[in-house]
Chains A and B, each alone.
Chain A
Amino acid sequence: EIVLTQSPDILSLSPGERATLSCRASQSVSSSYLAWYQQKPGQAPRLLIYGASSRATGIPDRFSGSGSGTDFTLTISRLEPEDFAVYYCQQYGSSPPNTFGQGTKLEIK
């Protein structure tokens, strides 16, 4: 089973700053089948990125994804107040599929 480890667990930044979130896989993720989600308290998760670097419909271009193999990154170029949330990565290309990272909480400094 592929285990996804996200870092850091908590990231404290101010609006306007750049955020870099990491997702590391215990084995190579085939075909860069890696997605990122944002979840705010009391809300459903929202798809941000799929295929490691493709933005989902309606996602602002300040969100970008990169990486391949075992190392993936979600970057938020300039934080807006509404970006403070929990972020999860998910791999969907290997068996067993659909495993998630433990999440990174992005909080206001």
Chain B
Amino acid sequence: EVQLVESGGSVVRPGGSLRLSCAASGFTFDDNAMSWVRQAPGKGLEWVSGINWNGGNTDYADSVKGRFTISRDNAKNSLYLQMNSLRAEDTALYHCARAASSDFYWYFDLWGRGTLVTVSS
């Protein structure tokens, strides 16, 4: 089955760190760029970060630049998001999304159901 499954979300204190993972299956992982897209409770979608097919190019939303790092391991069919210096406003459901291209500046044709990150003291 073609799917993306996120994990790693939890409750963390402000200033803390967390690493999210996304396991891909059912398709050739290194054919596609990948992104993280988040959704604050009751809110809309916000693109967070993207990585191209081989990890050689990445980009971030201004709201997370310098705090989050995206990476991938094509041998493990996995995508990651290292989140440091977390803030209350980072509280959201984090979706892993596949770009329909080797470039992450594209639309997303496959999404995971998300993993919940709550930043609270």
Contact B95 A44 (CB under 8 A): yes
Taking CB atoms, residues of chain A closer than 8 Å to B111 are 44-46
List the count of A-B residue pairs having beta carbons below 8 Å apart. 57
Contact A44 B113 (CB under 8 A): yes
Taking CB atoms, residues of chain B closer than 8 Å to A56 are 109
Q: A45-B45, A88-B45 are in contact. Are A98 and B113 (CB under 8 A)?
A: no
Range, interface on chain B: 20 to 34
**Interfacial residues of chain A within 91-108, with CB under 8 A of chain B in the complex:** 92-93, 95-103
Taking CB atoms, residues of chain A closer than 8 Å to B27 are none
The complex places the Cα of A47 from the Cα of B112 at a distance, in Å, of: 12
Instruction: Report the count of interface residues on A (CB-CB < 8 A).
Output: 25
The complex places the Cα of A59 from the Cα of B33 at a distance, in Å, of: 23
The complex places the Cα of A35 from the Cα of B95 at a distance, in Å, of: 17
Taking CB atoms, residues of chain B closer than 8 Å to A92 are 105-107
Contact B109 A44 (CB under 8 A): no
Taking CB atoms, residues of chain B closer than 8 Å to A44 are 95, 111-114
The complex places the Cα of A100 from the Cα of B35 at a distance, in Å, of: 14
Task: Give the residue of B47, B100, B110, B112 whose beta carbon is less than 8 angstroms from that of A98.
Answer: B47
B44 within 8 A of partner (CB)? yes
The complex places the Cα of A55 from the Cα of B61 at a distance, in Å, of: 28
The complex places the Cα of A100 from the Cα of B40 at a distance, in Å, of: 14
The distance from the CB of B115 to the nearest CB of chain A, in whole angstroms, is 12
Contact code string B23-51 (vs A, CB < 8 Å = 1, else 0): 00000000000010100000011110010
- Supply 21 A–B pairs (Cβ within 8 Å), ascending by A: A42-B113, A44-B95, A44-B113, A45-B111, A46-B111, A47-B100, A47-B110, A50-B100, A50-B107, A50-B109, A56-B109, A92-B105, A92-B107, A96-B61, A98-B35, A98-B37, A98-B50, A98-B104, A98-B105, A100-B45, A102-B44
| B interface residues with partner A (beta carbon < 8 Å) | 35, 37, 44-47, 50, 61-62, 95, 97, 100, 104-114
